[in-house]
Amino acid sequence: MTSRSEARVLQFCHGYDGPFLDCARQYASLFQGSGYKVTTVFLTGAADPQVAAGCASDEVLFLEFSSKAVRGLKLSAIRALRRIAAERSFSFCIAHRFKPIYVALLATGLPVIGVHHAFGDYERKGRRLFANLFSKRLSLLGVSDAVRDDMRRCLPQWPAERIQTLYNRIDIDALQAAQVCRAEAR
């Protein structure tokens, strides 16, 4: 159990496949030196120490649900995240993709910043209804202006300032450190 006086951010990710481990690292790194501790929770995927080391968070937890287990109502995932939130005093949640947004809103009373990485996430009527139901606690980010505009089109009653863009970023120092000389690259 962590101290109730620490300022903490919950980052909730669907998984760490593809670009999503780097997305988790990008968002966690935003809080370095801010006084906030970041706890990153992965909904799916096996516990992996390399993943934990690669996401720049103060704490990394793996719920280890299968993709099949997070279909439907996701009650087990909601219970698991509710336990995690009860043991820590989070200020808010950053949730990547729709399933983590859904689980975070139902499992906690936290303000949730939902990060969307693709088009069409709110084209389904059920998702629009859900977003509208939780609109007081939910703010949305798109990783590009086009994704942001797609969400604004699907949620026209939302104030534009509640759906913003935060571009993905790269760690230039890490990228340069990984580069090899021209001859070796050839």
Q: Are 124 and 143 in contact (CB under 8 A)?
A: no
pLDDT at 1 over 90: no
Tokens of 30: 């935003």
pLDDT of 91:
97
Q: Which domains does the chain have, with CATH numbers?
A: 7-185 (3.40.50.2000)
At 105 the pLDDT is: 98
Identity of residue 167: Y
Predicted confidence (pLDDT) at residue 149 exceeds the cutoff of 60: yes
163 pLDDT more than 80: yes
Helix axes 98-107, 75-87, angle to 10 degrees: 60
Q: Is it the case that residue 72 has pLDDT exceeding 60?
A: yes
- Region 105-122: what's the mean pLDDT? 97
Percent of the chain with pLDDT over 90: 80
Residue 41: what pLDDT?
98
Of 36 and 172, the structure prediction assigns the larger pLDDT to 36
pLDDT tens per residue across span 51-71: 999 999 999 999 999 988 888
Q: How high is the pLDDT of residue 69? A: 83
Please, how many CA atoms are within 13 Å of residue 122, restricted to the half-sphere of its CB?
27
CA dihedral 24, 25, 30, 34 (to 10 degrees): 100
Average pLDDT over residues 131-148: 97
The closest of 145, 9, 154, 2 to 87, measured between CA atoms, is: 2
Say what the pLDDT of residue 170 is.
65
Task: State the pLDDT at residue 67.
Answer: 84
